[in-house]
Amino acid sequence: MKRSSLILIAIVVIVAIVGYSTFKGAYNTMVTKTQNVESQWAGVETQYQRRMDLYGSVVSTIKGSATFEQETLTKVIEARSKATSVQVDPSKLTPESLEQFQQAQGEMSSAFSKLMVVVERYPELQTTRAFQDFQAQIEGTENRINKARDDFNNTVQDYNTYIKQFPTNLIAGMFGFAEKGYFKAAAGSDQAPNIEF
């Protein structure tokens, strides 16, 4: 073989090895980052489930009070049921699916806030052990939810940034690695609440 043929073959082999290594590394990194996003999503769901369980226990406590306003309680039970029925496929964390999930959770939180206002009219209920336990745990749970959502958003940002960079954006497009959605603040949360004394 001629020397120029050997040099050409060596160059082709080197380019093939470098191309394969780059392609393999980018693909495997996208797979890893996808798994990280899904893992963080599981953490978010775990914290929301913890809150659901707490809400369920306090609803059971309130149901036991025969004098309690049943209409308010029914609204909370319906909102809780709706919130638990909204499931998000971790492999399809689109902005639309997250918005739907967030909206259902927001409706439940709103209904529950109204319930807590009504509970204030029932001092005998507020002194029960189960209700006191609930009050002690719910603040920590809300903090855990916020932390899990922040961690999720940071992981999604890392993933989205990676799949948008060149040349990984080409590989991402070939293999269907799509942008993931973020948790966003609820509409109107940028406005300070109107508090009257």
Polymer length of the chain: 197
Which of 143, 155, 176, 147 is CA-nearest to residue 39? 155
Q: Rounded distance, CA 99 to CA 93, Å?
A: 10
Give the highest mean pLDDT range of 54-58, 95-99, 161-165. 161-165
Mean pLDDT of 84-103: 87
pTM metric for this prediction: 0.79
Q: What is the set of domains in the chain, with CATH numbers? A: 3-175 (1.20.1440.20)
Model confidence pLDDT, tens digit, residues 23-52 = 899 999 999 999 999 999 999 999 999 999
Q: 21 phi and psi, to 5 degrees?
A: -60, -45
